[in-house]
């Protein structure tokens, strides 16, 4: 698998899809990454490049056993010459640009993160009170990120999907993350959190690639410091706890529709670019043909002018020769008349 140094030093065009990640030091917001991909594929010079030259061959869902019990997704992408790249996709409440802010802001963020995302499974009265107190203040902008990583051996693998015969492409993965973000642009510790983000993503692939995805058997229950958590409640429906005793159902079909809308816009834009490019090429071809015709007419005109000049020269020569002939003829006639006159005189005398 190529690492960051290899990607940075490589001049191979196959890494162009990852330019935005490389510029950002290996990390980018999913929206910017998706935008960079669409811009790359829509460039007239790249219209011949297939979007599936980088394809997802497996997805792994990892859990980080810290206070936050953070979860994220890692996609293994296979590219040209079977090169592999690992992309990490995750949702977090922390803005990477704010990690070096003042100690006060860092302390505030630390206090908020002390409320573990693992409380989803808790039902105590104390937790209910906490939900009422912090539920309205923990909504913040979600920071959904994509980054190039290596094998995540230090974290626990809790879900593993492999694809066979039919594979999502890199653009679908990026657009799916963007579509997921569009359904919940705010991060909420109790529902639209990192769990929801990765659950929605794997749920999408399980539904849309059910004939091609092969789940790798893993324990359905993951040990956690505060107890246990069931990894998947119902396939196709992602249940989110909203701070009460009720669950909000989130249909994966919402995400499917959002992705298809996003991909539809891309396909339409590509078709527009292709149509415009074809129209431009047609116009340029017509212009070249028109210019060629004009050049031919110029050459023909020059040839006609040259011919006319030659004709004028010939006519002048003919006139000159005619004048010489007429002059010679006049001289000859005078000579004949002179001879006849002398002969007549001689005849009379004789």
In a domain, 221, yes or no: yes
The Cα 111–Cα 324 span in angstroms is 120
As for how many domains the chain has, the answer is 1
**Are the CB atoms for 115 and 67 separated by under 8 Å?**
no
**Are the CB atoms for 37 and 171 separated by under 8 Å?**
yes
In a domain, 62, yes or no: yes
What the block records as the tokens of 263 is 């991909």
pLDDT at residue 189, rounded to an integer: 73
In a domain, 278, yes or no: no
Mean pLDDT by 10 residues, the chain (350 residues): 44 59 78 89 89 94 81 93 89 63 33 34 40 49 89 85 94 94 82 85 92 72 38 39 48 91 91 88 92 93 90 84 78 72 70
Domain limits for position 135: 11-96+125-250
In a domain, 333, yes or no: no
In a domain, 312, yes or no: no
The Cα 74–Cα 24 span in angstroms is 19
The Cα 3–Cα 81 span in angstroms is 16
pTM of the predicted protein model = 0.65
In a domain, 277, yes or no: no
pLDDT at residue 256, rounded to an integer: 94
pLDDT at residue 1, rounded to an integer: 40
In a domain, 135, yes or no: yes
In a domain, 83, yes or no: yes
């Amino acid at each position: 698998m190529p690492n960051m140094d290899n990607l940075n030093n490589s001049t191979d065009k196959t890494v162009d899809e990852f330019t935005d990640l490389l510029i950002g030091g290996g990390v980018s917001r999913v929206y910017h990454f998706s935008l960079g991909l669409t811009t790359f594929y829509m460039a007239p010079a790249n219209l011949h490049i297939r979007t599936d030259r980088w394809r997802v061959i497996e997805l792994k869902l990892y859990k980080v056993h810290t206070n936050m019990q953070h979860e994220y997704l890692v996609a293994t992408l296979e590219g040209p010459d079977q090169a592999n790249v690992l992309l990490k996709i995750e949702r977090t409440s922390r803005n990477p640009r704010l990690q070096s802010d003042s100690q006060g802001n860092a302390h505030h963020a630390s206090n908020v993160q002390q409320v573990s995302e693992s409380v989803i499974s808790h039902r105590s009265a104390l937790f209910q009170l906490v939900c009422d107190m912090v539920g309205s203040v923990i909504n913040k902008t979600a920071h959904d990120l994509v980054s190039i990583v290596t094998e995540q051996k230090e974290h626990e693998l809790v879900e593993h999907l492999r694809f066979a015969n039919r594979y999502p492409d890199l653009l679908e993965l990026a657009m799916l993350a963007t579509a997921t973000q569009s359904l919940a642009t705010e991060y909420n510790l109790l529902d639209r959190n990192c769990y929801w983000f990765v659950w929605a993503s794997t749920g999408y692939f399980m539904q849309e690639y059910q004939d091609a995805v092969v789940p790798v058997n893993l324990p359905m229950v993951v040990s956690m410091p505060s107890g246990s958590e069931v990894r998947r409640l119902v396939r196709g429906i992602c249940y989110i706890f909203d701070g009460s005793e009720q669950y909000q159902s989130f249909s994966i079909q919402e995400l499917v529709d959002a992705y298809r809308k996003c991909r539809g816009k891309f396909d339409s834009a590509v078709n527009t670019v292709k149509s415009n490019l074809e129209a431009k090429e047609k116009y340029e071809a017509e212009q070249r043909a028109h210019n060629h015709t004009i050049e031919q007419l110029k050459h023909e005109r020059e040839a006609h002018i040259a011919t006319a000049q030659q004709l004028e020269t010939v006519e002048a020569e003919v006139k000159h020769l005619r004048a010489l002939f007429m002059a010679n003829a006049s001289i000859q006639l005078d000579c004949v008349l002179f001879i006849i006159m002398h002969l007549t005189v001689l005849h009379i005398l004789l």
